Amino acid sequence: MSASKVLIVTAVEAEHEAVQRGLDHHCGFDVIAGGVGLAEAAASTAIALTKDSYTAVVSAGIAGGFRAQTELGSIVVASEIWGADLGAETNEGFYDLEKLNLGCSRYQCDPLLTDKLCTSIAERGLKAQTGAILTTAAVTGTAKTAENLAVRVPEAKAEAMEGFGVAVSAQKFDVPVFEIRSISNFVGPRDRDNWKIKEALAVLEQASNGLQEVF
């Protein structure tokens, strides 16, 4: 069986450093800060995948949690990665790419490895759960938008800005994709002053250590 080599893609340098600190050994893991947003993440992931071959790709970073579903400082491991903005707004509601017959707007993550990853993270004393992670072009800033997303995707646990971009590039290279997010804030009215970024980065560091048991 070939040795595993995992590409971990964060958005910003602070997340990149947190993931690096969490890995006891870096062999078998390449960590890059791919940039903020779906486009940057997709391009950075694709470039990395042309330069080396990987057995898995992981989108990792902080995220907003849906208030009824998560706690600040907890971890969400994606069972599904949604491109939540991809589609059309209509008088009858939001039509995703599947409904428009224009392509794929969500990726399923391998359930066995997703569950193993969630267990490995929980064994480190962290609160961890699996669920859908939405990728949005912007950080939700109102209660109405948060409600609309939660109604449209009841299984949504978290919202971030890169996962679907990482997933699209991974899929084009036929590499399994995963996403792990530490919850820094709640999805809803913009409350930037109460984001717990430092705490979420510390949790991301601890959770990253769990990657070594799974991959």
Residue 147 sits at φ, ψ, to 5 deg, of -65, -45
Tell me the window of 26-34, 56-64, 66-74, 147-155 that interacts with ligand LNDFFVEH (CB under 6 A): 56-64
Comparison of 7 and 62: residue with beta carbon closer to ligand LNDFFVEH: 62
| Longest CA span, the chain | 52
Q: How far apart are CA 78 and CA 69, in angstroms?
A: 13
Residue 164 sits at φ, ψ, to 5 deg, of -65, -35
Closest approach, Cβ 8 to ligand LNDFFVEH, in A, equals 14
- Binders of ligand LNDFFVEH among residues 156 to 185 (CB under 6 A) are 159-162, 184-185
Cα dihedral sign, 11-118-173-23:
positive
* Residue nearest ligand LNDFFVEH by beta-carbon distance: 64
Site string for ligand LNDFFVEH, 88-127 (x = CB under 6 A): ----------------------------------------
Side-chain-side CA neighbours of residue 76 (13 Å): 30
Comparison of 46 and 101: residue with beta carbon closer to ligand LNDFFVEH: 46
Comparison of 11 and 77: residue with beta carbon closer to ligand LNDFFVEH: 11
Q: Which of 22, 64, 83, 131 binds ligand LNDFFVEH (CB under 6 A)?
A: 64
Q: What is the DSSP string of 183-199?
A: EEEESSS--GGG--HHH
- Binders of ligand LNDFFVEH among residues 128 to 157 (CB under 6 A) are 136, 139-140
Q: How far apart are CA 183 and CA 185, in angstroms?
A: 6
Q: How far apart are CA 211 and CA 89, in angstroms?
A: 38
Q: How far apart are CA 202 and CA 183, in angstroms?
A: 11
Comparison of 25 and 192: residue with beta carbon closer to ligand LNDFFVEH: 192
Tell me the window of 57-65, 102-110, 149-157, 170-178 that interacts with ligand LNDFFVEH (CB under 6 A): 57-65
Burial 164-175 (b: 16+ CB within 10 A, else e): bbbbbbbeebeb
Assigned token pair, 32: 């890059």
Q: Give the footprint of ligand LNDFFVEH on this chain (CB under 6 A).
A: 11, 36, 61-64, 136, 139-140, 159-162, 184-185, 187, 192
